[in-house]
Structure 1
C-alpha cells in the first residue's frame, strides 16, 4: 500500500528508571473508551513542526510534570491496523500505521504530576519494575524495558 493511502502517527516514548529500580509510567485513561485504560510509557504524538526528541521531552513534561532530557534511542516499534486511528475517534476509516520511537531519558527537574487537562493521561507514578507483571500495562513498556536492559 502506498504511503498516501493510510494515516501515520509518529510518537516518541521514554524509559525513565530511577535508582530504586522504579520506572516512571503514565496512566492512559483510554480516551473516549475508558475500557482501554492502561499503564504506558510517558510519551505520545509528535507535532508536525518538532523533532522526535523535542516532542518526547514535551510529552514527558505534559504527562508526568518532570523536565527531562533524552539520553539515547533504544528501539523502534511499528504496527498497522485496518481500522481508523485508534487514538482519534473523529478520523476517517483509512488504514492506520503507528510508528513509535523509544528513548532512554533522565529527569532534570520538575515535580511529579500530570499537566494535561482533558487529555488521555490522568496521572503518572513510579512503579517498581518487578511489579509490572501484576499490573495492566501496554506492550510498549516491555519493548522499552527489554531494549533498555540490552543497552545497559
Structure 2
C-alpha cells in the first residue's frame, strides 16, 4: 500500500482517522541511529507504527522495532509527542490519517537485525549520514529533537 505525507498543504485530503503511534530512536554502542527505508514511500524513517488496543505506548514502540528490524529493545526515555494537525498521511486504500505520535529512545537488548516486509533497507547511521538521507521533514524534526539532547521532551 502506498503512502503520501502532506504538511501544511491546502490541497491535502481531509483526515478520516486518528491513529495513536509510537516510534523509537534506537542507538548502537557507537551512538549511531537505526533508520529504515520505508517500502510504502521510499523515504527513511525511525521504526514505529500504530498502537494496538492491547498495547501501551512504550510497548508499541518495542513491538514495532522488533517487527520492523528484528531487534529487541528497551525504552530508555522520551523524545517527545507529535500531534501537529498540519501533518496528514494518505494511504492508497483511502485512509487519510492524523497521527498522535510519541517518540521514545531505546537501547538494544537482543535480536538480530533483519529487513521486514515494511522496509527495503535498515542502517545504523552517523549524524553526518542522517543529513543526506531523504526523509519527510517531520521525521527529521524528531531526530533533530533527539540530537539536541533536550532537558525536557518536545510537546507538540
Task: Judge same fold: TM > 0.5, yes or no.
Answer: yes
Distance 1:16 1:151 in 2: 19
What is the total number of aligned residue pairs between the two structures?
136
Distance 2:87 2:124 in 1: 34
* TM-score normalised according to structure 2 size: 0.75
What is the aligned partner in structure 2 of residue 91 from structure 1? Answer: 94
Give a deviation string over 1:8-37, Cα, whole Å, max 9, x none: 0111011122232311011112x2xxxx31
Which of the pair is proportionally richer in strand? 2
Distance 2:37 2:73 in 1: 18
Answer yes or no: is the 8 Å Cα contact 2:27–2:108 preserved in 1.
no
Distance 1:66 1:151 in 2: 27
1:99 Cα deviation after fit: 1.2
Distance 1:143 1:43 in 2: 15
Out of 126, 129, 138, which is 1:128 matched to? Answer: 126
Which of the pair is proportionally richer in helix? 1
Structure 1 residue ranges without an equivalent (≥5): none
* TM-score normalised according to structure 1 size: 0.77
Answer yes or no: is the 8 Å Cα contact 2:70–2:112 preserved in 1.
yes
Is residue 23 of structure 1 aligned with residue 33 of structure 2?
A: yes
| Superposed structure 1 runs of 4+ greater than 6 Å apart | none
Structure 2 residue ranges without an equivalent (≥5): 1-14
Match runs of 1:63-82 below 5 Å = 63-80=68-85
Answer yes or no: is the 8 Å Cα contact 1:81–1:96 preserved in 2.
no
What is the aligned partner in structure 2 of residue 60 from structure 1? Answer: 65
1:140 Cα deviation after fit: 4.0
RMSD: 2.5
